[in-house]
Every structure is written in C-alpha cells, then in structure tokens.
A and B are shown apart, each in its own frame.
Chain A
Amino acid sequence: MNPFLRESSIETLTRDLDSEKPVWPLSCFGPAKLQPTLIANLDESPEELRVKAAEAARNGTIQEYLKYETDKIAAAQATYTNARSNIQALYAHAVQNYEAQASGGTPTPFGTPAPSAFGGGGTTSVFGAPASTSAFGAPASTSAFGKPSGFGAFSGSGPSAFGGASTGTSAFGQSSFGQPSFGQSTFGKPAGGSAFGGGSAFGQPAGGATTSAFGTPASGATTSAFGQPAQGTSAFGQPAQGSSTSAFGQPAQGATTSAFGQPAQGATTSAFGQPAQGATTSAFGQPAQGTATSAFGQPASTSAFGQSSFGKPATGTSAFGAPAAGAGTSAFGQPSQPSTSAFGQPAQGTTTSAFGAPQSTSAFGQSAFGQSAFGKPATPSAFGSTPASGNAGGSGSGGGGGAFSAFAGGQPSAFGLAAAAKAPGGSVFGQSSFGGGAASSSAPAPSAFGGSGSTGAFGSSATSGSVFGAQPVAGTGAFGAPASTSAFGAPQPAASSSVFGAPAATQPQQAPTSVFGSLTNQPSVTNSGSAFGQPSSPSAFFGQGAQASSQPAPKEKSGRPDFAAARRRALYKPGATKYDDLLPPNYMELLPKAALDAFKGEGEKFDWGNIPEWIPPKELRCSVEDGNDILTAAAPLRKPRHFCGSKMLRASSPNPTPHPDGGNDPRVESVLERSQTELVKTYRPRARRPPQLDPKLLSSTAQNNGTSEADADKSTLAVLGHNVLAAAYTDVLFRSATNPAAGFPHLKDIETKLQKSVDGWIGQHEWHESLYDSIGRVECGSLAEERRMLFDIYIGTLFTKSRSSYDAVHDWVKSLVERGAE
C-alpha cells in the first residue's frame, strides 16, 4: 500500500490548508512528512522580511517594503486559496509526486525529486521548451495544461494567473509572446499551429470539447489546454527538436535548457526551470508572488521566461502570474475541478457560460484579452484570436464579466482586482477589459448579472463603475460591493467558498443560466434566503436600501433580550452557597473602584468593556427581600442596546456623575426623580414636548461656564444626545415600518420629515431660552445649529442622568412620527 495514501488524503490536505493553516503566510507546503514540496517557491522567513524592512527603513523606502510585504502575502494567500479550492487536483498531484519519487528515485544530491510541474511523469517535459514534447501544444500525454494540475490547479496561477499587475506593460501581450524570439509558433502568432493563437481561444480545446483549457483534468487527454492539440507545432518552442530535456522539469542547475528554450541565465530561479519548485508546483503561477517574481516571468533578469521570451519588458512582473495583490483566486484556477471552465466553456458553449453570457462568445473575447492583455491588438491576440463574437469582455455584456468572476471564487475577480490594484499602466485584465465591460453594466437580459430585471442584484451594486476592476484590493465583495456588507460575499468568511465561486464550479454545464441568472429570475429572491447571502444585519441590505423593492428584509421582531426578567428569575439567596463566606469581610473595600462602580451601576447590564472581573460583592447582589424593590425600580429601565459598548458610552459611563457636586446633591436627585415621573406622565401616550428636565439639573451638569472642561463636556453630551436621538429615530422608524422591505425610501422620507419637525419644534417652543441660563451659549454657526446643539446636549444630559430617559425620548419621537403620519 502506498504509504503516502495512508497518511494523506484530501481531508488532511483540506485541513492543512484550512483550519490548520499556519499564521505565517509565506511558506511552501508539502502534503505530508518527507514528501516533496507541493506548493513551492513561497518560502520567505520572517527574518528575511525583517531584514528587508530594516534596509528599507535605513534607506527611507519603507513604503516600498510595505508594498512588497503586502504583495507577497497576498500572492501567497491567493495561491493557497486557489490550491484549497482545487483540492482534488492538488491531491492528485501530490499522489503523482509521491509515485514519481518512488519510482524515479534518484534524487540528486541537493535536490528533491522533481516531479514535473504539470503532472507529467517525472520525465516528461512540461512546458516544453525545446524538449521533445512541448507543453503547449504538446502531444497529449505530456500536455502541461491538460493535466490535472493544470493551470490554476495549484500554484500560483492562483493569484492572478492572468491578471497580473504588470506595472506597465503586459508581459504577455507586448513584446513577449508575439516576439520573434519565439519564432514560429509563439503565443500570439496567428500561426496555424500556434498554441495560443490558433483557433482556440483559450480553452477551446479542440479535442475534448468539454475540457477546460486551464486546469480541468483533461478528459480528453489528448487535448492540450494551451494549445491546439496538435498542430504538432510546439507553442513555445521550436518544433520539438529537442529531446529529453524539459524546460520545466529541469533540475535547477538549469544549465542545459531553459524553460522556453532560452539559455536561462538565472536558471536556478526560473520559475520554469526550478527543480522541485517549478516542478512540483504549477509552473504557471506559483512563484507569482511579489513584484519580483512572476510565474511566467521571473524577474526579467533571471527568468527564462521573462528574460527573453515572455516577459521581456516586464518590469519585473509579468502578466501571467503577477502578484495580484488581493486577488483571491485565480480566474484560471478555479474551474479546474468541475468540468467546466470559463475558458473551456464558451467554446462549446453556445448559450451557457458560467454566467449566462449571452452568446457563444468566448469570455475572452476581443476586448478582454485580446486587446490590452495578452497581445497587442495588432497581432492576433493570444487569447482572443478567434473570439467568436467577441462579446464577452466587450462593453455591454454583463455576461462577459461574469464569466470571469465565476472563476474568481469568492474573491474579487481575479482579473479586475489585480488590475485595479496594481496595474497602473496598461491593465492586463483589469479595468480596460473587464472592468470596462462590466462597468457599463447594462446587463442584457440573458446575462447572469442582469438577471430578470434591470435591478438585478448585480446591476445595482455594480453601478458604481467597473464591477470588476473598480473595487480595489479589498479582497472582498465579489462584485464590488463593500466588503463586509457585500450582498454577495457577506457571510462568507474568506475566499474559499464564495457564493460565486462555488456555484459556478459546480454548475452543470448545460445549465443555461448561471447561478445568478437563475436566482435573479425568481422574484422570490427577495425575501427568503437570498442566494447571495443573507444580509448579516438588518441594515445591510445591499447598502442602505437604495433599492426599492426586492430586498430581503428580515422582519424584525423585537428581539431585545429582557435582562430585567432574567434578573427577576435569578435572585440571590444569601447563604445559599458556602462560597460567599469565603469572600473577605472587607471585600467591598478591596475592590477597585471601577469594579465597584460597575456593580453599583443602575443599569441592568454592564457596559461592554467595563464588565468587572471580580466576584460581585454580597452587599450588592439583589436578594429576595429587597430584590423586589430593586426590580420594580429597575424594570422600566432599559438600556438601549445601541449604546452598549459604544465608545460614547464607555467614555461617559465610568463617571456617570461627572459633576459630583451636582450629582450627589439631594435636591438635584429629587428634581431628577420628579422630572422623570413628569416625563413619563407628560409624554405618554402622546407627547408634544420633549422630555422635560429641570434647568437646575442642567446647570449642575453642564454649566461651569467658560472652562474648557465644560466645553468638552458639552460636546460630549451633544454627541451623546445626538446619538440617543438617532437611536430613537431608528428604533421608531424600524418599528413603524410595516413592511420594511418595501418601505425604505418611504422611511427615509419620514425620517427627513421627522428631522424637520424636530427642528421646527425646537424653534417653535422657545424652551431653549431657558437652557441658555443653564447651559450657556454654544458657539455655533447659526441659531438653528445652536438650538440643535443645545437640544442634543439636553438629551445627552438626560441620558447620562438616567438611562430610562431614553424611553421618554423614544416615545416623544414616536409621537412626532405618528403625528406626522396623520
């Protein structure tokens, strides 16, 4: 029995990459002990980074360091995200490695057994250089890309297989592929046999129509992803004259042949020429970490690829496999497990692209790949040479964009993102191509995004601009939605299983409509579980309820925990437990003041951040006898939960009586009490005036004219008051909305009206005059503002004095609303 299989499985791999993923992000990975490194070229130790940081600090280039760090980490994470989402292929590759190691078994002195990059047997060349079998366009058996570990399978392709951050120019496009250096059948050449160029857009695998170019396990083994099978000419290199040497699998010594036939100068670091690394991992993206290395083109100077062929001008980063800052997953990588890939799809496709792209067009159509990214427009673009109708990336087609995003997994579209984040100049895949297309998200009906209506989920959120390109790094919202509240990505933790990615992946090919399409078609999306993830909080509906209708809106049942009742249920019985006696007799004195105050506080619950970590003193527990009293007193108290834990409250609660002279004054206390009862009387059921407070009380709290402390207090109180009011508004509005789903614009209206009526009220009752005496003037731009401010201070003061005043405020606001509605 294969010992590797004994201790490693898809489950263990999944665990390794998931729940047991180390904190340190920049690491290679092997599937099991002593097993060849499966995801390579990522190792960078904390010390190495730190030395770079130290140098940067010395040279005053810390920003560059930070970018380096960010990029590296993002690339590594993308790689692992991608690997994780292609776990099957990863595992298959690991098994292959094991077998290669076992059989091939002559490890060179330093080397690890070097299984070929793309899964060919250890001996087969992958990418092909001059080797007998070239990867691109190679004969089936050794096709680099057709193999299970295809393009995106593991390795870096993930980060941005294609959506690199080429700083200025796309490696792929520009000079590289089309360059004569390749001669015959280069990437971009229309040459009949060109792997890339030929008739096949990316994935039109001639042979197995169903197989995706990049990454799916090639069912039709004979088809090389990257290339037309066949024409017999090697994409990358000369027609195979070569013999046994593989660019890819080459032991690093590199000497003999370089990846693409070039004498690799930096042999050892060539992505493709690397031994274990290039080998065990996918050539294509792996190294794509930071600026310095890219899958396809190592830093220019050292990469075989970059050097001469692909990445010539690439400023260190090549399009292929470039850093892709936040890119979660590679566009290309994703698809590998299911049988459909974006790239493959359109080919056979007709109606169905992952996202319902309208036509049989290749996602990669003209504008997208062809133009900016992969090839100069002039020469037939590598990818886009035969864009069916070229619709995909094109302007209006939401679908085109969709295709891509499908691959992007939960993360932002690989393409757009990387480009947006990085590519300053010619975006590879980004703005210009996808973003552009998406931006004009007119979303024709069949488009996934457009869904049924013009206000499809996507349509709306996308409006801002380029769906794909626009949203910068973030690493969030699949479609440009704001991060945490992204409708689509919302509840989804990170990358691994995004709504988007997932369904797309499992999407049966024949399904005419994309996940999104289908869902959006159903009006029912509205309420029940939204396909796109429940909004995590009621207020997160697609961003502020801009939409009129179709938002899921949880009906709010008042779910406020009833702490008072809880307290009633659990009363303290003195002596019921022996542990009480273990407390020191002078425990009250030992307690820190803060804790003691917290226990003494009148609130029914502690404030966040101020929960004392002490045993409650016996003296302060409510016993059965006095419990009733306390409870009756406490029952009406309700702390608005909105404020628990708010900074505001924390700031003010430690000293709820900031002005002891007033706070402890029995007269003031009685005034307070009285005014509260009055409040309740006056403002229920239908109050026309705001909660009343004796000006004297205010004078005790907020007066101290002239001192800056007093001013600070005032502004604090004003903010507090403002927020209390806001909470009351929200509360009232929310409850008053019979159908929040339908009613948000309506509510907005009400709110505006309410604001006005409050303002009006403040102006019309000239109570503020009296506040001048107690509070003093407040420096403000206008009278209205000053009034407003006074009012806020007033409410804030009220609130600090007694939390129950919130209820009064609430009721008052409610009355205003009701009046307004009449």
Chain B
Amino acid sequence: MSFFSASTSNSLVNNAAADKDIEVADPPTDSISSLSFSPTADYLAVGSWDNNVRIYEVGANGQTQGKAMYGHQGPVLNVCWNKDGSKILSGGADNAGRMFDVTTGQSSQVAQHDAPIRVVRWIESPQGGVLATGSWDKTIKYWDLRTPNPVSTVQLPERCYTMDVVYPLMVVGTAERHILVFNLANPTTPFKTLVSPLKWQTRVVSCFPSANGFAAGSIEGRVAIQYVEEKDASNNFSFKCHRRDQMPANKDQSLVYAVNDISFHPVHGTFSTCGSDGTINFWDKDARTRLKASPAFEQAPGPIPCTTFNRSGTIFAYAVSYDWSKGHSGMTPGHPNKLMLHACKDEEVKRKPAKR
C-alpha cells in the first residue's frame, strides 16, 4: 500500500530505501513551530517562526500544493482548526490570536493577550465553538470570535507552555511543572491541579482521544501517561525516550533530549513522540510498548519540533527544524528546515493484539 511513490535513490548501497517520506516543496522560510491538519480534509496548516501561517493541500499521492498564507506581526507559535474545517486559528509572539477564514481567504484578529500566545485550541462544546488561548501572560482566555473581549479568563500559576483539548477534557501545562486539568463543563475552574508527573520542565501535554487522561512530555526525554480519575491511577506510568548514550561504552552518561511533541493517532489511539534528537517513535500506551514496526524513520538531520496526524491517521506530518534546543548557537545558517509527510502503514500505528 505504497501511499506515496517511492523516491528514487541511486546510491550504491542504499537501494532498499523504499517509501521515503515526502518533503513538501516550498516550506516556510524559518523554523516550523506548529502543524495542524484540518478535521475535514487533507489541508495542513503550518505555523512558522517566519511570522506566517501556510496552508497546504495534500493530495492522494502525497503531492502538496500551497493554498493560502497569512501573517502575524511576530513568530507564529501555534495553529489549529475549528471543527468544521472552515477556519484556522493561530497564536503568535505578537500577543495576538488570529483567525483565517478558509472560504473567504481573509484573516482577522480574534484574541489578544499581554504576552505571546503559546497555544491555541478549538473547543467544540455543546453550547458552540470557543477558542481557548494559552499565553505566557499566565492566563487562558476563551473567545467566541465575535467580540473583542474574552468570554472568560483563567488565571494560571505560571506561563502557559502547552495545552490540549479533547472535549470535555482540557489539560494545561505551565512553567514550573504545574499541570491543570479542566473539565470543560466548568471551564473557568480547574477540575484538578497537580505537579507534573515528570521531574523537569513540561514541554507538551496531549489528551487521550478517549478524554480520560493525557500524555505529558518534558525536556528530560521522558513521557508520562497520566489518567485523570484517581481510580485509574494505577495505570499511570512514565517511560524514557529520546535519549542517546553519549558514548556507546558508557551507558551512564546519556544525552537527554526534550520531547517536543506528542500526537495521538485518531483511529488507533497510539501516539507518536518526537524530540530534539531528531527521532520519532510510535508507542502503544496500553501495551506499554514501542511499536516495533515503527516506521524506519531515520534520524532526521535536525530536531523535530512538531508532528501531527491527518484526520484519518493515514498521513503523519512532521517538521525538521531548529527548535532552539541549543540556544542561539544552534541556529546555524544551513540548518535544515523541512516539512515532511509520512504515509502511515497499519503495522506502524496499530496496536498489537494482546498476546494470550
């Protein structure tokens, strides 16, 4: 089921490289910060440090075409779609949240914070759609997109670093290891606050599709699986990933990279992790295993800042961009900046049936 055509390779040895991932042409001109597929079509919204959001259409064979682009006044930090795929929402370092109307091709400002907006999420509640924006100004604000004022504001203990929503669950990760869990039936008060199940800076949280828990990734090359309800607490666990032995001979000293993103497969409930080490892995949290048939992702030539699945889970998009993991000095001129598409095979993302 070769989804994409195999790219050609005339290397002497490496002739087994079939099904290479496709590199999207005309990628952003600066690092990619965020990826999001439309929930209704294979449109991929891409936020970048070059201040723009680009929308690509991904064809059946993996060919891509740029469809639209709009800008912020500063780097774009996060993008998402609304439920019907008609709007793209984005937040940026310009402290603004913007909405792009796919049908009209117009963008407008819909949210405002006192500090950069780190993350935007669309909440589709029974009462209607609401945009949630999390910012380094230590608030989350809810917007109905019609008025310039937020519907509501939630004070956070610290700067918002990450947030994810699978209605009715919303999880927010902030600086200093705070994690807030909201039941969106009551969106203004945390259902629960906890100290991170990880030891170091929280990098990403991602809700289970089943909305009963979340995965958290940190800079310490570790992912925690955390259930919301106490009764499930026994299922909580964490595991290491995205680490590398510094020297093959010395297992004690490892390079511990940040987990940059966690994406759940929309169908199978497995998930991917990606890191500053330039690797991607697929995992099954229930079997607590790495999916062995993980795609033969080669080590990317740079950090992987973000990943996402399309709505059906057949396409896995990831970026290879500098993620500032080594500070300014890592920002070298020739640093790769790529947007890649990977055709998911079932064995890569499907749970293994339980033995027995």
Contact = CB atoms under 8 A, between A and B. Distances in A.
Contact of A33 (B198, B221, B323): B198
Contact of A20 (B220, B276, B327): B220
B327 A49 contact: yes
Interface stretch (A65-73, A671-679, A715-723): A65-73
Contact of A30 (B33, B177, B327): B177
How would you classify the secondary structure of chain B's contact residues: helix, strand, loop or mixed? loop
Contact of B177 (A26, A37, A46, A66): A37
- Of the listed residues A26, A48, A51, the one surrounded by the most CB atoms of chain B closer than 10 A to its CB is A51
A20 B256 contact: yes
B232 to A, nearest CB: 15
Contact of B157 (A65, A111, A590): A111
Interface in B310-348: 323-328, 331
A781 interface: no
Interface in A35-81: 35-37, 40-41, 43-51, 53-55, 62, 65-66, 69, 73
For chain B, the bracket of interface size reads: 35 or more
Nearest to A280: B176
A21 interface: yes
Contact of B256 (A22, A73, A112): A22
A34 B75 contact: no
Nearest to A277: B176
A33 B253 contact: no
Interface in B233-259: 238, 243, 252-258
Given A30-B196, A54-B49, A111-B157, A23 B328 contact: no
B53 interface: no
Contacts of B221: 22
Interface string B150-174: 0000011111010000000000000
A610 B295 CA distance: 33
A134 B38 CA distance: 58
A50 B256 contact: no
Contacts of A277: 176
Nearest to A47: B77
A27 B93 CA distance: 21
Contact of A27 (B33, B200, B252, B326): B200
Contact of A50 (B75, B196, B253): B75
A125 B276 CA distance: 41
A706 interface: no
A18 to B, nearest CB: 8
B199 A24 contact: no
Given A34-B196, A51-B75, A46 B324 contact: yes
Contact of B201 (A16, A24, A54): A24
Given A21-B256, A24-B219, A37-B176, A49 B324 contact: yes
A45 B327 contact: no
A33 B199 contact: yes
Interface in B182-201: 189-190, 193-201
A33 B238 contact: yes
Contacts of A585: none
A109 interface: yes
Contacts of A69: 327-328
A32 interface: yes
Contacts, number: 140
Given A20-B254, A22-B221, A73-B327, A48 B136 contact: yes
A31 B199 CA distance: 6
Contact of A23 (B157, B161, B238, B276): B276
Contacts of A109: 189-190, 193
Interface in B248-278: 252-258, 276
Given A19-B252, A37-B177, A66 B75 contact: no
Interface string B36-53: 000000000000010000
Nearest to A274: B176
A160 B255 CA distance: 27
Contacts of B194: 34
A108 to B, nearest CB: 9
A28 interface: yes
A23 B75 contact: no
A767 interface: no
B195 A30 contact: yes
A324 to B, nearest CB: 18
A47 B12 contact: no
B175 A43 contact: yes
Contacts of A271: none
Contacts of A22: 200-201, 218-221, 256-258
Given A109-B190, A277-B176, A46 B325 contact: yes
Contacts of A50: 49, 75, 324
A47 B180 CA distance: 21
Contacts of B58: none
A19 B256 CA distance: 9
A754 to B, nearest CB: 41
Interface of A: 16, 19-24, 26-37, 40-41, 43-51, 53-55, 62, 65-66, 69, 73, 107, 109-112, 252, 275-277, 590
24 contacts: A20-B254, A21-B256, A23-B219, A23-B257, A27-B201, A33-B198, A34-B196, A37-B195, A40-B176, A43-B177, A47-B118, A48-B136, A50-B75, A51-B74, A53-B324, A54-B49, A54-B74, A107-B193, A110-B155, A110-B156, A110-B190, A111-B157, A276-B157, A276-B176
Interface of B: 12, 33, 49, 74-75, 77, 93, 116, 118, 136, 155-159, 161, 175-178, 180, 189-190, 193-201, 203, 218-221, 224, 238, 243, 252-258, 276, 323-328, 331
Given A30-B198, A46-B325, A109-B190, 19 more contacts: A16-B199, A20-B256, A22-B218, A23-B255, A24-B276, A29-B200, A33-B196, A33-B197, A34-B197, A37-B177, A47-B324, A50-B49, A50-B324, A51-B74, A51-B116, A53-B328, A62-B328, A112-B157, A112-B178
Top 8 A-B residue pairs of the complex, sorted by shortest distance between their CB atoms:
A46-B324, A27-B201, A110-B157, A43-B175, A24-B219, A50-B324, A33-B197, A22-B256
